[in-house]
Structure 1
Amino acid sequence: MATVKQLPHPRVADVPLTEVLFALSDPARLEIVRELANGPLSMAECGATNPDLPKSTKSHLMKVLREAGIVRNEPDGRQRIVSLRREELDESFPGLLEAVLGVTEGSD
Protein backbone atom coordinates (compact mmCIF):
# COMPACT_ATOMS: atom_id res chain seq x y z
CA MET A 1 0.00 0.00 0.00
CA ALA A 2 1.32 3.44 -0.95
CA THR A 3 1.87 5.95 1.80
CA VAL A 4 1.13 9.64 1.47
CA LYS A 5 4.46 11.48 1.37
CA GLN A 6 5.49 14.25 3.72
CA LEU A 7 5.84 17.65 2.09
CA PRO A 8 8.49 20.20 3.06
CA HIS A 9 7.29 23.17 5.11
CA PRO A 10 9.53 26.22 5.52
CA ARG A 11 10.05 27.90 8.85
CA VAL A 12 7.75 30.93 8.71
CA ALA A 13 10.53 33.07 10.18
CA ASP A 14 12.63 32.25 7.08
CA VAL A 15 9.94 33.33 4.58
CA PRO A 16 10.18 36.93 3.33
CA LEU A 17 7.08 39.08 3.86
CA THR A 18 6.94 39.70 0.09
CA GLU A 19 6.47 35.96 -0.51
CA VAL A 20 3.64 35.78 2.03
CA LEU A 21 1.96 38.85 0.52
CA PHE A 22 2.30 37.40 -2.98
CA ALA A 23 0.65 34.15 -1.87
CA LEU A 24 -2.22 36.08 -0.28
CA SER A 25 -2.67 38.36 -3.31
CA ASP A 26 -4.50 35.77 -5.41
CA PRO A 27 -8.28 35.68 -4.77
CA ALA A 28 -8.49 31.87 -4.97
CA ARG A 29 -5.62 31.40 -2.50
CA LEU A 30 -7.06 34.05 -0.20
CA GLU A 31 -10.42 32.25 -0.22
CA ILE A 32 -8.68 29.03 0.84
CA VAL A 33 -6.97 30.89 3.70
CA ARG A 34 -10.33 32.33 4.77
CA GLU A 35 -11.81 28.82 4.80
CA LEU A 36 -8.91 27.56 6.91
CA ALA A 37 -9.31 30.41 9.42
CA ASN A 38 -12.20 28.40 10.89
CA GLY A 39 -10.01 25.33 11.42
CA PRO A 40 -8.21 22.56 9.52
CA LEU A 41 -9.90 20.96 6.52
CA SER A 42 -9.20 17.95 4.38
CA MET A 43 -7.64 18.76 1.02
CA ALA A 44 -10.94 17.76 -0.62
CA GLU A 45 -12.86 20.32 1.47
CA CYS A 46 -10.51 23.24 0.74
CA GLY A 47 -11.69 25.32 -2.17
CA ALA A 48 -14.95 23.39 -2.29
CA THR A 49 -16.73 26.69 -2.91
CA ASN A 50 -15.42 26.47 -6.49
CA PRO A 51 -16.18 22.95 -7.74
CA ASP A 52 -15.06 23.90 -11.27
CA LEU A 53 -11.47 24.41 -10.10
CA PRO A 54 -9.26 21.82 -11.82
CA LYS A 55 -7.31 19.52 -9.49
CA SER A 56 -4.00 20.70 -10.96
CA THR A 57 -4.89 24.35 -10.27
CA LYS A 58 -5.93 23.53 -6.72
CA SER A 59 -2.66 21.66 -6.17
CA HIS A 60 -0.71 24.66 -7.42
CA LEU A 61 -2.65 27.05 -5.16
CA MET A 62 -1.90 24.82 -2.18
CA LYS A 63 1.77 24.54 -3.12
CA VAL A 64 2.15 28.33 -3.24
CA LEU A 65 0.45 28.69 0.16
CA ARG A 66 2.58 25.91 1.68
CA GLU A 67 5.87 27.25 0.28
CA ALA A 68 5.01 30.72 1.61
CA GLY A 69 4.59 29.23 5.09
CA ILE A 70 0.88 30.04 5.27
CA VAL A 71 -0.51 26.52 5.47
CA ARG A 72 0.62 23.14 6.71
CA ASN A 73 -0.36 20.20 4.50
CA GLU A 74 0.00 16.92 6.40
CA PRO A 75 -0.87 13.33 5.49
CA ASP A 76 -3.75 11.75 7.41
CA GLY A 77 -4.30 8.21 6.21
CA ARG A 78 -5.09 8.36 2.50
CA GLN A 79 -5.98 12.04 2.54
CA ARG A 80 -4.30 15.31 3.50
CA ILE A 81 -5.27 17.77 6.20
CA VAL A 82 -4.55 21.44 5.53
CA SER A 83 -4.29 23.93 8.37
CA LEU A 84 -3.51 27.61 8.68
CA ARG A 85 -0.20 28.33 10.43
CA ARG A 86 -1.83 31.22 12.29
CA GLU A 87 0.32 31.16 15.43
CA GLU A 88 3.59 31.13 13.49
CA LEU A 89 2.37 33.81 11.06
CA ASP A 90 1.17 36.02 13.91
CA GLU A 91 4.56 35.68 15.58
CA SER A 92 6.55 36.56 12.44
CA PHE A 93 4.10 39.08 10.94
CA PRO A 94 1.96 40.52 13.77
CA GLY A 95 -1.46 41.70 12.61
CA LEU A 96 -1.05 40.52 9.00
CA LEU A 97 -3.61 37.71 9.05
CA GLU A 98 -6.07 39.76 11.05
CA ALA A 99 -5.79 42.58 8.50
CA VAL A 100 -6.03 40.30 5.47
CA LEU A 101 -8.84 38.11 6.81
CA GLY A 102 -10.80 41.14 7.95
CA VAL A 103 -10.98 42.51 4.41
CA THR A 104 -14.00 41.34 2.41
CA GLU A 105 -14.87 41.71 -1.26
CA GLY A 106 -16.03 45.21 -2.06
CA SER A 107 -14.86 46.77 1.22
CA ASP A 108 -12.63 49.82 1.26
Structure 2
Amino acid sequence: MTAPAPSSRDLPHPARAEIRLEAVLHALSDPMRLRIVRELAAEGDELSCSHFDLPVTKSTTTHHFRVLREAGVVRQVYRGTAKMNGLRGDDLDDLFPGLLDRVLAAAGRQADRLGSG
Protein backbone atom coordinates (compact mmCIF):
# COMPACT_ATOMS: atom_id res chain seq x y z
CA MET A 1 0.00 0.00 0.00
CA THR A 2 1.37 3.42 -0.88
CA ALA A 3 1.11 6.46 1.32
CA PRO A 4 -1.37 9.12 0.25
CA ALA A 5 0.09 11.94 -1.78
CA PRO A 6 0.89 14.97 0.38
CA SER A 7 -1.57 17.79 0.13
CA SER A 8 -0.42 21.06 -1.39
CA ARG A 9 -1.40 22.50 1.98
CA ASP A 10 1.04 20.28 3.90
CA LEU A 11 3.92 22.41 5.11
CA PRO A 12 7.45 20.99 5.45
CA HIS A 13 8.87 20.79 8.97
CA PRO A 14 12.21 19.46 10.11
CA ALA A 15 12.09 16.20 12.04
CA ARG A 16 13.16 16.54 15.67
CA ALA A 17 16.56 15.02 14.89
CA GLU A 18 17.11 17.59 12.11
CA ILE A 19 16.58 20.69 14.28
CA ARG A 20 19.85 22.60 14.62
CA LEU A 21 20.77 24.94 17.45
CA GLU A 22 22.14 27.62 15.13
CA ALA A 23 18.87 27.68 13.14
CA VAL A 24 16.82 27.99 16.34
CA LEU A 25 19.02 30.80 17.64
CA HIS A 26 18.85 32.59 14.29
CA ALA A 27 15.04 32.28 14.27
CA LEU A 28 14.81 33.66 17.80
CA SER A 29 17.25 36.52 17.13
CA ASP A 30 14.71 38.64 15.24
CA PRO A 31 12.44 40.88 17.38
CA MET A 32 9.29 40.08 15.35
CA ARG A 33 9.91 36.33 15.48
CA LEU A 34 10.67 36.50 19.19
CA ARG A 35 7.41 38.41 19.66
CA ILE A 36 5.53 35.62 17.84
CA VAL A 37 7.17 32.96 20.01
CA ARG A 38 6.41 34.91 23.19
CA GLU A 39 2.73 35.21 22.22
CA LEU A 40 2.54 31.50 21.42
CA ALA A 41 4.19 30.61 24.72
CA ALA A 42 1.88 32.91 26.67
CA GLU A 43 -1.20 31.42 24.98
CA GLY A 44 0.00 27.84 25.45
CA ASP A 45 -2.06 26.71 22.47
CA GLU A 46 -2.19 27.09 18.71
CA LEU A 47 -2.89 30.52 17.27
CA SER A 48 -3.80 31.44 13.71
CA CYS A 49 -1.49 33.65 11.69
CA SER A 50 -4.24 36.28 11.61
CA HIS A 51 -4.17 36.47 15.43
CA PHE A 52 -0.82 38.27 15.32
CA ASP A 53 -0.88 42.04 14.87
CA LEU A 54 2.68 42.71 13.77
CA PRO A 55 3.85 46.11 12.50
CA VAL A 56 5.09 44.60 9.23
CA THR A 57 3.56 43.68 5.88
CA LYS A 58 1.69 40.42 5.36
CA SER A 59 4.51 39.07 3.19
CA THR A 60 7.07 39.87 5.90
CA THR A 61 4.87 38.18 8.50
CA THR A 62 4.70 35.11 6.24
CA HIS A 63 8.50 35.16 5.98
CA HIS A 64 8.88 35.27 9.78
CA PHE A 65 6.56 32.29 10.23
CA ARG A 66 8.44 30.36 7.54
CA VAL A 67 11.79 30.99 9.28
CA LEU A 68 10.33 29.80 12.60
CA ARG A 69 8.82 26.70 10.96
CA GLU A 70 11.94 25.78 8.99
CA ALA A 71 14.08 26.17 12.13
CA GLY A 72 11.79 23.80 14.04
CA VAL A 73 10.56 26.41 16.51
CA VAL A 74 6.89 26.26 15.45
CA ARG A 75 4.64 23.73 13.77
CA GLN A 76 2.15 25.10 11.23
CA VAL A 77 -0.92 23.19 10.12
CA TYR A 78 -4.02 24.15 8.21
CA ARG A 79 -7.30 23.81 10.08
CA GLY A 80 -9.95 24.67 7.53
CA THR A 81 -8.82 27.91 5.96
CA ALA A 82 -6.70 29.03 8.94
CA LYS A 83 -2.98 28.35 9.21
CA MET A 84 -2.46 27.46 12.85
CA ASN A 85 0.84 27.86 14.70
CA GLY A 86 2.06 26.06 17.79
CA LEU A 87 5.39 26.02 19.57
CA ARG A 88 7.44 22.85 19.29
CA GLY A 89 8.37 23.22 22.94
CA ASP A 90 8.65 19.48 23.62
CA ASP A 91 11.03 19.01 20.69
CA LEU A 92 13.14 22.02 21.67
CA ASP A 93 13.24 21.03 25.36
CA ASP A 94 14.28 17.49 24.43
CA LEU A 95 17.11 18.73 22.21
CA PHE A 96 18.15 21.86 24.12
CA PRO A 97 16.89 21.54 27.72
CA GLY A 98 15.86 24.88 29.19
CA LEU A 99 16.84 26.96 26.15
CA LEU A 100 13.37 28.14 25.18
CA ASP A 101 12.37 28.87 28.79
CA ARG A 102 15.53 30.92 29.35
CA VAL A 103 15.17 32.85 26.10
CA LEU A 104 11.53 33.64 26.89
CA ALA A 105 12.39 34.69 30.45
CA ALA A 106 15.20 36.93 29.19
CA ALA A 107 12.92 38.43 26.53
CA GLY A 108 10.31 39.16 29.20
CA ARG A 109 12.87 40.87 31.43
CA GLN A 110 14.10 42.93 28.49
CA ALA A 111 10.55 43.95 27.55
CA ASP A 112 9.92 45.02 31.15
CA ARG A 113 13.18 46.97 31.26
CA LEU A 114 12.49 48.72 27.96
CA GLY A 115 8.79 49.21 28.63
CA SER A 116 7.81 47.27 25.50
CA GLY A 117 6.30 44.17 27.01
Q: Provide the TM-score with structure 2 as the length reference.
A: 0.81
| Match of residue 32 from structure 2 | 28
1:89 maps onto 2:95 in alignment: no
CA apart distance, 1:13? 2.4
| Match of residue 62 from structure 1 | 65
Runs of at least 5 residues in structure 2 that lack an aligned partner in the other structure = 1-6
Aligned length in residues = 102
Q: Provide the TM-score with structure 1 as the length reference.
A: 0.87
Higher-Rg structure is 2
| Match of residue 83 from structure 2 | 80
Aligned to 2:86, what secondary structure does the other structure show? strand
1:8 maps onto 2:7 in alignment: no
CA apart distance, 1:79? 1.1
CA apart distance, 1:56? 0.4
Aligned to 1:44, what secondary structure does the other structure show? helix
| Match of residue 3 from structure 2 | none
In 1, the alpha carbon distance for the partners of 2:8 and 2:73 equals 21
Runs of at least 5 residues in structure 1 that lack an aligned partner in the other structure = none
In 1, the alpha carbon distance for the partners of 2:16 and 2:27 equals 13
* Runs of 4+ residues over 4 Å off in structure 1: none
CA apart distance, 1:77? 0.4
Residue of 20, 23, 42 corresponding to 2:48: 42
| Stretch deviating more after TM superposition (57-66 or 3-12) | 3-12
RCO comparison, higher one (Cα < 8 Å, 6+): 1
CA apart distance, 1:14? 1.1
Q: Cα RMSD between the aligned structures?
A: 1.5
